[in-house]
A and B are shown apart, each in its own frame.
Chain A
């Protein structure tokens, strides 16, 4: 029998989830809480297997609470429960020791699957969220290898390669030298180089200049 407790400030949600799980064999909702404080008080007396934890709490931060509980009671597995689908929340919950993450409009089957998966020691994320996280990590990775240049940066890079000074570039592109200087700095930062020589070298290596 999996002992489940739920923390949500929304009592109707609490009731709903509890109802969804009552008829499921092997899962038992032993208690529900509407505040973090009452939960923590309870945990000093009894340790459940699973905690369904709402992130968005009026008095306390759900993510921080998650971290505290997993550290204090490592035997409790936490599944985050939220209306937020932003990956930031998911990642932060996972970093703070959560074993799963569900959106609140989860279906009964998904909820049961999550509880069962997590209680067996495996992390659970719904399919949609898994895809989102994957996309994001791939996207960031790719941009790190070949930096995409803005049109301005491309123009300025070419000017620099043609030995133009900041003043000459500014006159040519009808912008202020201050702006040119900013673009220059941006380029150095983007290519992770220390000076113009490095910038030109990297730009050639990466095929951004010909």
Chain B
């Protein structure tokens, strides 16, 4: 140890003394001045709180006093945030004081409040504090849960400083779980954060923690190195709690190495600070260490003094008491005071048993809890089973429903199918009936037309063969009369009679030809129409009729030809009678099995709505129906065009 180092240590030592003696820091001083100058209640309350916070690592009694003042002021002005902050400080204070239940309930109050106002920052802080408390209580699982919860929240808030703090604490838990490499890793992460942000208090804590780990790993050199780093930072910060702890830790470390003098020196330093500032828990630990160290130095009086003082601290912690009584037992044994040794040992074993019992009860409780949770699991499982059964039932029902639905759809479809089938059948039947009716109608028409034609034929025959024959014979008879003895007047009368006979014969012939066109009977439609149009043209001076015929002649049966002839006859008769036309055109075109007939005139036209009815439409209508032809009239004052399309495929053969 060289001189400069010595000076340095001395300097820090002196600094520590000054800090301890003043029981204050520059920050606290300035805050106190601020407090005196502040007028508003809120500002006062805030200053009390800040001072309390600064005292936390210096003097817990002072801390409690300042928090009390702060809370009273906040309550007087009903400042909720301030009240909440005060409770938070109480929580931390109770934690430091080792009163974990009080601490937890404080934090729960704050948490509920923070949740209500959605104060994430406070929630994170509370989670962290809870982590610390659960860790101290040895409930590492809960502790880690709390820590990680707070870590999440701090990350959300992007609060790096607090993240490092949490990491530190997680390291402690990992250490307690004997997961040392993990703990070191986490601490180093924290150290880098603290260095980057120049957070000395954090750095001090983390160094201390690292020292503890290496101490446990029996890596004394490294452990001492870290404790000293921590101590230096704490001295800079005037962190009495930290200074004491580091001294204590280092003392314990030397004790382990049987370096009693060094150990006692360090522990006494710690003792001085801890006594002054009432760091009860750590004080007891230091006292136990001093007890042990002095015992091992065979300085029994001192050892006894320290151990008695440790007992007088009245720590609730059984494990602390257990180690006190263990040391007392060892001390008495060394002093050969066996009765007292036995007493101490008895207490020690009782405590040990009690701890064991507690642990056992705890484990039984755990088991109980586990069992209960198992039962619950089973219950859940059985409920699930029930649910599954129900689900199956539902599924089954659904399936049944689906089946039913499917069935009904099939039924519906088939019903529709059957219905459509029957409808189709019915339609076909109806069509058949219709066709039959049409056929019947056609047959009726045909019979009618036939009857008419036959009647015509009979009359024509009678006229032609009967009357005309007779008239001819009469003519022959008359012309056979010898005219030699006739006077002129008689000759004239005779010739007139002959002429009249000829006229009569001609008229009868015309009538009979109209009734039954002989060309149609003996030849064909085209021949008959030629004769007909010629006759009209020659007998009717008003209207000239032109007949045009194109295409191969279609062989049709006489009934059909007659029907067509009658239609044309009727149309042309109408033209000559009513249209006042000077020209008319009859045109027939044959294409394959289709016959197109056009009858056109340049007359005055007629009204299709009524006029035509009187023009023998009935005769035409029945024959058009019989022929199943398309009949179209286009009439206007400049003339009339009538077209008739006949598909001869549809007509019955000869």
Q: Which residues of A contact B (CB under 8 A)?
A: 9-10, 12-13, 15-17, 19-20, 23, 56, 61, 63, 83-89, 92, 104-105, 107-108, 132, 135-136, 139, 143, 147-148, 150-152, 179, 182, 185-186, 189-190
Contacts and interface: CB of A to CB of B under 8 A. Distances in A.
Contacts of A186: 550, 587, 589, 591, 596, 598
Most chain A beta carbons < 10 A, residue from B502, B522, B641: B522
A150 B641 contact: yes
Contact of A185 (B527, B530, B589): B589
Contact of A20 (B476, B501, B513, B585): B476
Given A13-B472, A20-B479, A105-B475, A88 B465 contact: no
Contacts of A19: 476-477, 480
B498 interface: yes
Interface of B is mostly: helix
Given A20-B479, A186-B589, A105 B472 contact: yes
Given A19-B476, A152-B634, A189-B551, 6 more contacts: A86-B518, A147-B548, A150-B598, A150-B641, A182-B591, A182-B596
Nearest first, the 7 closest Cβ-Cβ pairs linking A and B are A16-B476, A12-B473, A105-B505, A16-B473, A186-B589, A189-B550, A10-B469
B548 to A, nearest CB: 6
Contacts of B645: 179, 182
11 contacts: A9-B465, A13-B472, A16-B472, A16-B476, A19-B476, A61-B522, A89-B518, A89-B519, A104-B472, A105-B505, A135-B538
Contact of B522 (A15, A63, A108, A190): A63
Interface string B638-650: 0101010100000
Contact of B534 (A9, A23, A136, A150): A136
Contact of A152 (B473, B498, B641): B641
A61 B465 CA distance: 15
A147 B546 CA distance: 11
Contacts of B469: 10, 12-13, 83, 104
Contacts of B634: 152
Contacts of B480: 16, 19-20, 23, 108
Contacts of B550: 186, 189-190
Contacts of B334: none
Contacts of A20: 476, 479-480
Given A10-B469, A189-B551, A190-B550, A151 B534 contact: no
B531 A86 contact: yes
Contact of B519 (A61, A88, A143): A88
B534 A15 contact: no
A85 B509 contact: yes
Interface of B: 464-465, 468-473, 475-477, 479-480, 498, 501-502, 505-506, 509, 512-513, 517-519, 522-523, 527-528, 530-531, 534, 538, 546, 548, 550-551, 585, 587, 589, 591, 594, 596, 598, 600, 632, 634, 639, 641, 643, 645
A150 B479 contact: no
B518 A84 contact: yes
Contacts of A87: 530-531, 534
B534 A152 contact: no
A98 to B, nearest CB: 15
Nearest to B594: A182
Contacts, number: 132
A127 B475 CA distance: 20
B523 A92 contact: yes
A56 B479 contact: no
Contacts of A190: 548, 550, 589
A144 to B, nearest CB: 9
Nearest to B479: A108
A185 B591 contact: yes
B471 A105 contact: yes
Contacts of B471: 105
Contacts of A107: 479, 498
A17 B476 contact: yes
Nearest to B639: A151
Given A20-B476, A107-B479, A186-B550, A150 B600 contact: yes
A140 B521 CA distance: 22
A125 B216 CA distance: 158
Contacts of A9: 465
Nearest to A19: B480
A20 B528 CA distance: 33
B486 to A, nearest CB: 15
Nearest to A142: B546
A151 B464 CA distance: 40
Nearest to A152: B641
Given A83-B464, A88-B531, A143 B548 contact: yes
B330 to A, nearest CB: 123
A88 B517 CA distance: 11
B476 to A, nearest CB: 3
Nearest to B508: A83
Nearest to B523: A88
A136 B464 CA distance: 24
Contact of B585 (A89, A108, A150): A150
Given A13-B473, A107-B479, A150-B585, A83 B519 contact: no
